[in-house]
């Protein structure tokens, strides 16, 4: 991996990306610590750091209610943070460069390649331009639809502001909402559980933000190219199957429980939104603590899988999940190769998927054990919060506002690693690779 020199320091692209997130979080923390950012007493440093990390890492977990605890200035700070965090600060920096009509250097192109998970720099600037255009159009469309619906419940100016804020928040999979100021602290979108406009708009925004900009670009090019890349096929098929399966299982588990009082249309809308939002959306129309434990565990599994690479979402990613399932299925059939859509997958990618999954599991297990010691909560609640933080999902069972200082620090680390990615962080911290001058003899151990 190429090293880039900045101020005499040689840094790899993963290190620069990780450092960029740290600087963005630090700047957001300082702004949220200002008296103008809160409606009451000034935020403590740890609370400001938590909120800035959650926004930059597009998580949505909050130690204070965004609608009642933060002023308009504080809310706008969050909005800027999750816009930069969702699209990536490299993408936003590219936007500034393009607006100023400046030349994009080789260093910047290498950073773009790393931030978009691309294998080469070819066409990377054109892809970034498309990302910016798609994002603007999608978020503007969502803002218009939501504002038109919110006008029925609030003044025009507030409806427009709420439409813009929630469209950007939902598309970037940030999960922050302002309805605590309307319906009570931490109320979320529960009042809109039967509303088709709010639900369908939210589902589409989460889905489009979660499949990744590479897939969006590929789908829009389909009419010209008449084919999709392997990556796009895997993302679209796996995402669709997870949503359908998640909605059906949620409906089945909650039909005679939390969905019992809803009309048929409301049951379907609630099932689909709750199946989509764990993939990193962060907004809910059903109170999560009221769900059955089996349903809560279903959401834990969906949060762990997450969204697609190169998207605004987190988790181990749907491509990793699909690759692991295919590899296991192939081994059970005695196949040496892993094949997806008649394409052989390189063993290096299979090993990468296994490494990513194991690192993620180890991180979640370790964090859950520590949080079980520091927090007074049931185990499933602690596990739910840990996976939500790692998967940058932002769904909570109510533990986040009650976290101890140590608990907040642990969740901050989970959110940061979940957004930057365990492998990216591992690459950023690893020492310089040295060539191996010898090989050890092969040995055999018993498996199973």
Rounded-to-integer distance, Cα 51 and Cα 341, Å = 42
Instruction: Report, as an integer, the average pLDDT of 395-417.
Output: 92
Q: What is the pLDDT of residues 358-387, one digit of tens each?
A: 989 999 999 999 999 999 999 999 999 999
pLDDT at residue 6, as a whole number = 46
Which of 110 and 210 is assigned the larger pLDDT?
210
Select from 410, 433, 424 the least CA-distant residue to 50. Answer: 410
Tokens, residue 96: 């500034």
Domain ranges of the chain: 12-116+125-429
Cα-based distances in Å from 218 to 88, 115, 215, 227: 20, 18, 5, 9
pLDDT at residue 334, as a whole number = 84
Q: What sections of 33-123 are H helices per DSSP? A: 45-56, 66-69, 72-87, 89-99, 106-115
pLDDT at residue 275, as a whole number = 94
| HSE of 64, CA atoms in CB hemisphere, 13 A | 25
Asked whether the predicted pLDDT for residue 210 surpasses 90, the reply is no
Instruction: Report, as an integer, the average pLDDT of 20-47.
Output: 91
pLDDT at residue 259, as a whole number = 93
Decide: residue 408, CB within 10 A, 0-12 exposed, 13-18 middle, 19+ buried.
buried
* Strand-pair partners of 11: 4
For residues 77 and 28, the answer to whether their CB atoms sit within 8 Å is yes
Instruction: Report, as an integer, the average pLDDT of 396-406.
Output: 91
pLDDT at residue 14, as a whole number = 62
Q: What is the pLDDT of residues 122-155, one digit of tens each?
A: 556 666 777 788 888 999 999 999 999 999 989 9
Highest mean predicted confidence (pLDDT) among 161-165, 220-224, 424-428 = 161-165
pLDDT at residue 4, as a whole number = 47
Q: What is the pLDDT of residues 258-304, one digit of tens each?
A: 999 999 999 999 999 999 999 778 889 999 999 999 999 999 999 99
pLDDT at residue 427, as a whole number = 57
Cα dihedral across residues 117, 210, 83, 220: positive or negative: positive
pLDDT at residue 145, as a whole number = 96
pLDDT at residue 124, as a whole number = 61
Rounded-to-integer distance, Cα 415 and Cα 394, Å = 9
Q: Quick one: what percent of the chain has pLDDT higher than 90?
A: 48
pLDDT at residue 296, as a whole number = 95
Decide: residue 207, CB within 10 A, 0-12 exposed, 13-18 middle, 19+ buried.
middle
Instruction: Report, as an integer, the average pLDDT of 245-250.
Output: 96
Which of 436 and 74 is assigned the larger pLDDT?
74
pLDDT category at 20 given cuts 50, 70, 90 is confident
Q: What is the pLDDT of residues 61-115, one digit of tens each?
A: 999 999 899 999 999 999 999 888 877 655 555 555 555 555 555 555 555 555 5
Average pLDDT value for the chain:
84
Q: What is the pLDDT of residues 162-179, one digit of tens each?
A: 999 999 999 988 889 998
């Amino acid at each position: 991996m190429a090293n880039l020199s900045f101020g005499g320091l040689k840094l790899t692209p993963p290190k620069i990306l990780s450092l960029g997130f740290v600087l963005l979080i630090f700047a957001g923390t300082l702004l949220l610590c200002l008296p103008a950012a809160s409606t009451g007493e000034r935020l403590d440093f740890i609370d400001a750091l938590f909120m800035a990390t959650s926004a930059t890492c597009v998580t949505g977990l909050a130690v204070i209610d965004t609608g009642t605890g933060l002023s308009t200035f504080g809310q706008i700070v969050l909005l800027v943070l999750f816009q930069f965090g969702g699209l990536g600060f490299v993408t936003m920096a590219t936007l500034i460069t393009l607006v100023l009509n400046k030349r994009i250097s080789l260093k910047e192109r290498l950073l773009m390649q790393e931030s978009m998970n691309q294998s080469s720099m070819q066409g990377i600037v054109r892809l970034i331009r498309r990302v910016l255009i798609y994002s603007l159009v999608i978020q503007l469309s969502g803002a218009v639809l939501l504002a038109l619906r919110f006008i029925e419940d609030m003044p025009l100016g507030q409806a427009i502001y709420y439409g813009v804020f929630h469209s950007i928040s939902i598309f970037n999979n940030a999960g922050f909402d302002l309805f605590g100021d309307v319906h009570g602290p931490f109320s979320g979108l529960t009042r809109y559980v039967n509303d088709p406009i709010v639900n369908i708009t939210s589902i589409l925004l989460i889905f489009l933000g979660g499949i990744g900009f590479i897939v969006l670009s590929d789908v829009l090019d389909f009419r010209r190219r008449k084919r999709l890349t392997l990556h796009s096929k895997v993302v679209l098929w796996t995402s669709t199957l997870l949503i359908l399966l998640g909605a059906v299982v949620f409906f089945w588990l909650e039909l005679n429980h939390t969905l019992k009082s809803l009309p048929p249309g409301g049951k379907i809308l609630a099932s689909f939104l709750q199946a989509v939002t764990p993939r990193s959306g962060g907004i809910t129309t059903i109170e999560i603590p009221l769900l059955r434990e089996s349903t809560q565990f279903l959401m834990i599994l969906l949060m762990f899988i997450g969204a697609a690479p190169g998207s605004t979402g987190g988790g181990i990613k749907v491509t990793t999940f699909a690759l692991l399932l295919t590899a296991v299925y192939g081994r059970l059939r005695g196949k040496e190769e892993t094949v997806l859509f008649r394409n052989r997958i390189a063993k290096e990618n299979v090993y990468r998927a296994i490494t990513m999954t194991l690192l993620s599991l180890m991180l979640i297990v370790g964090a859950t054990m520590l949080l079980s010691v520091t927090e007074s909560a049931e185990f499933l609640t602690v596990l739910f919060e840990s996976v939500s933080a790692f998967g940058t999902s932002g769904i909570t069972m109510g533990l986040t506002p009650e976290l101890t200082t140590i608990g907040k620090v642990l969740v901050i680390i989970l959110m940061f690693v979940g957004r930057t990615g365990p492998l990216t962080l591992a690459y950023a911290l690893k020492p310089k690779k040295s060539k191996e001058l010898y090989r050890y003899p092969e040995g055999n151990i018993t498996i199973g």
